[in-house]
Amino acid sequence: MERPGSDTRPDRPAAFHCGWLLDGSGAGARRDVVLTVAGGRIDDIFPAAEGYQGLAPLDWRAFTVLPPLVDAHVHLFLSGRNDPVLRRRQLDPGPEYVFRHMADRIRRYLRRGILAVRDGGDHGALALALRDRYRQGRPDGFVLRAAGRAWHRAGRYGGVFGRSPAENQRLAEAVAADGRGIDQVKIINSGINSLTDFGRQTRPQFDPDDLKAAVAAAHRRGLPVMVHANGVQPVADALAAGCDSIEHGFFMGETNMARMAARETIWVPTAGTMAGCLGTLAPGSPEADGARRLLDHQVAQLARARALGVTVAAGTDAGSPGVRHGRAMATELGLMTAAGYCLGETVRCAAAHGARLLGLDRPGVLRPGAPADFIAVTGPPEALWKSLEQVRAVYRNGLPLSSSLALPGMTAGG
């Protein structure tokens, strides 16, 4: 039995006969295609019916091939388990404890074909410190983008994820003065959803002019700005300020969505947070009922966003209660499907749109000339939300990422 791609060398062309291929462009799955690799890049994609053209492809007819995924919103310092003792420990940990667990979470992302994540902040800037350990890049190519500490107003929601500007300091001054090598600025501009008071909106945390100046200060430093915002006004202010992405956006409403479509602001809906939360609550309780309504509301917003042409990137908010690292991606994509996204569109949200948001040097689309980064899962694309649980192969630059990822059951030849 030969491992997939075990004879692949960077200088040697390789070919894969894929049962199905979702290229990440938004198009539907193509059946029975051959993908060829040369020099670490995709050389060609053509129907298998045209013949192998002298190649001896690996037999991947039982698999669906798609681009590696990107989780655009995570908090690596939290596990997402609903264990109060564990959660307290995660909030006040020794750095080595956190680093060990964060590294384990990254392994879980890799196993599920998620090769890049964007961390939305923690009070100790621990994800940023972890990224600094990978300053020269990880050998497996995993990309961690980190916001360091998120900004929130003193006395308002967000202390777990960051810090506040000093007294008498404007947000814009704080953002301009923050010298650490972050990848993006994270600003928290609202509260969170209420499980018992459906639709309750919170005031913006920051003055709109200050917010605008803060975004401009970040952009002057070459840093994109992600804004946590729920409710009409907090989202409207963030959009008027020129932010790069809206995180969550519950109850933002259609006018804001139309603005996002026009400005090409990316939305990261994190709808699965409510599914995760629901799983931690006693069935039939008012809180569970509230979580269910919030989930339905966000799926309905997603359907409107699709109709309006909003660019959506898949982010899970992994680390939130009931939202587990790696595993949560399938839930998020399943919710997009429930909102009417076709399979190809969900993969585009989870790959190309994520790649754009993170500023990756690869497009997240399988096309000739692109880096030969792809993953393979068992079965047809319709089974994707289940099969993503056990990704069968992860390739980067045309090579299997890790031999430990090459599971038995994939053989060369017919």
CB of 80 to Zn ion, least distance (A): 11
143 forms beta bridges with 116
Nearer to Zn ion, 245 or 387 (CB): 245
Nearer to Zn ion, 159 or 380 (CB): 159
Residue in 122, 183, 317, 373 binding Zn ion, rule: CB under 5 A: 317
Closest CB to Zn ion among residues 344, 354 = 354
- Which among 293-301, 309-317, 373-381, 388-396 is the span making contact with Zn ion, rule CB under 5 A? 309-317
Q: Which residue is nearest to Zn ion (CB)?
A: 120
Judged by CB under 5 A, the stretch of 34-42, 120-128, 252-260, 293-301 that binds Zn ion is 120-128
The CA distance from 305 to 302, in Å, is 5
Tell me the helix, strand and coil percentages in the chain, rounded to 5.
35, 20, 45
For residue 48, count CB atoms less than 10 angstroms from its CB and return exposed for 0-12, middle for 13-18, buried for 19 or more: middle
> Binding to Zn ion by residue 332, rule CB under 5 A?
no
Q: What is the largest CA-CA distance in the chain?
A: 71
Q: Kindly give, in sequence order, each residue whose CB lies less than 8 Å from that of residue 46, ignoring residues fewer than 6 positions away.
A: 33, 34
Between 318 and 376, CB nearer to Zn ion: 318
Establish if 119 lies at the interface with Zn ion (CB under 5 A): no
5/315 with CB nearer Zn ion: 315
State the alpha helices, DSSP H only, in 137-243. Answer: 171-177, 208-220, 232-240
Which helix or strand (DSSP H or E) is residue 69 part of?
strand 69-74
Tokens 């991606």 map to which residue?
A: 329
Among positions 80, 120, 158, 231, the unique one binding Zn ion when judged by CB under 5 A: 120
Residue 224 to residues 70, 241, 243, 350, 353, Cα–Cα distance (Å): 17, 12, 7, 19, 15
Q: How far is the CB of 317 from Zn ion (least distance, A)?
A: 4
With vertex at residue 193, the alpha carbon angle to CA 170 and CA 329, rounded to the nearest 5 degrees, is 100
Q: Which stretch binds Zn ion (CB under 5 A): 46-54, 276-284, 317-325, 385-393?
A: 317-325
Please report, as a single letter, which amino acid is at residue 170.
R
- 365/24 Cα distance (integer angstroms): 5
Neighbours of 293 (CB within 10 A): 15
Q: What single-letter amino acid sits at 375? A: I
Nearer to Zn ion, 191 or 398 (CB): 191
Question: Minimum CB separation from Zn ion for residue 73, in Å?
Answer: 6
Stretch in the footprint of Zn ion (CB under 5 A) among 116-124, 152-160, 210-218, 348-356: 116-124
- Interactions with Zn ion, residue window 194-233 (CB under 5 A): none
Give the Cα-Cα-Cα angle 131, 137, 143 (nearest 5 degrees). 60
In the complex, minimum distance from the CB of residue 52 to Zn ion, in angstroms, rounded to a whole number: 47
Answer yes or no: are the C-beta atoms of 129 and 98 closer than 8 Å. Answer: no
Contact between residue 24 and residue 364 where contact means Cβ atoms under 8 Å apart: yes
Report, in Å, the least distance between residue 310 CB and Zn ion. Answer: 19
Would you count residue 249 as binding Zn ion (CB under 5 A)? no
| 244 touches Zn ion (CB under 5 A) | no
Residue 400, H or E segment: strand 399-400
Residue 315 C-beta: closest distance to Zn ion, Å:
8
Please count the residues of this chain forming the interface with Zn ion, following the rule CB under 5 A: 2
User: Least separation, in Å, of the C-beta of 123 and Zn ion?
Assistant: 13
Query: Least Å distance between CB 15 and Zn ion?
Result: 41
Contact region for Zn ion (CB under 5 A) — 50-58, 113-121, 237-245, 404-412? 113-121
Residue 80 binds Zn ion, judged by CB under 5 A: no
Q: Taking a C-beta distance cutoff of 8 angstroms, is the pair 206, 189 a contact?
A: yes
Which range of residues in 51-59, 118-126, 210-218, 337-345 is near Zn ion by CB under 5 A?
118-126
Work out how close the CB of 107 gets to Zn ion at its nearest, in angstroms, rounded to a whole number.
21
- Give the Cα separation of 156 and 150 in Å (integer): 13
Cβ proximity to Zn ion, 120 vs 321, nearer residue = 120
List interacting residues with Zn ion (CB under 5 A).
Answer: 120, 317
